[in-house]
Amino acid sequence: MVTGAEHLSVLRRTGSSGGSSGGSSGGSSSTGGSAVTPAEENEIVAKHNALRRGVQPPASNMLKMSWNNEAAANAQAWVSKCTGTHSKDEDRKISTSGCGENWAGSSARESWSTIIQRWYDEVNDWKYGVGSINGRKVGHFTQVVWYKSFYVGCAMAYCPNHDDKYHYVCQYCPPGNYQFARPYNSGQTCASCSSACDKKLCTNPCRYNDKYSNCPSLTNQWGCQNDVTSSCHASCKCTNNEIM
């Protein structure tokens, strides 16, 4: 289990209609967010899972993603403000965990598959065990393939006062990007979840979270009682080889 402080990633790039690749050229006026349709929900989830299945080297503990309405609502509430920036920690929480976030801007409307692929394509600047190989940002990629993030929710808004008028946000829960070198464990696919595997992806997430990185050692030493239980929900409740 990888622990530490989460990282957020922003990507600005123009679409096929041209325009500046810079940030805001005016205020934060918005014509409102665009609700993700059921078909787009399926597209977003399928695209993420296809990319997660295909990572190289293969992942032994990569969780299968599913749609989360809470995360989508949070993404919609934020992206509709047209700030061109990331939301705050308190705006990226669902009932079970906090969430990470990817952001993208484009001068033209693009499909969700195109946006997600663009985030993933930072893999060209990344190497397993190293992280970025040339100093370029790889945080969008590592969040897309963060092994422990199994919920995703996304939203888009049209923001006419920005050069990149179309703003896209996806939130990932639990959050990833504690570090960039090893966003998952390499090995035979589903080696960590042989009894809960769907086409190279694990389907047995731990739905609880530890407050401290040393919770596994705390529970081994003291068991699950009193303060340990209240601070180490995952280590105490996920005892059937769930992915943590």
Please give the average pLDDT of every successive group of 10 residues along the chain, which has 244 residues. Answer: 40 33 37 80 99 99 98 97 92 94 96 98 99 97 98 97 96 93 98 97 95 88 81 91 94
Q: Which two tokens stand for residue 148?
A: 């422990």
CA separation for the pair 100, 170 (Å, rounded): 8
CATH superfamily name and code, 9-173 = CAP (3.40.33.10)
Q: Which two tokens stand for residue 81?
A: 């403000």
Whole-number pLDDT of residue 228 = 78
Whole-number pLDDT of residue 21 = 27
Whole-number pLDDT of residue 144 = 98
CA separation for the pair 36, 53 (Å, rounded): 24
Whole-number pLDDT of residue 221 = 87
Residue 32 and residue 115 in contact, taking contact as beta carbons nearer than 8 Å:
no
Beta-carbon-side half-sphere exposure of residue 138 (alpha carbons within 13 Å) = 22
In the chain, what are the domain boundaries?
Answer: 9-173, 206-237
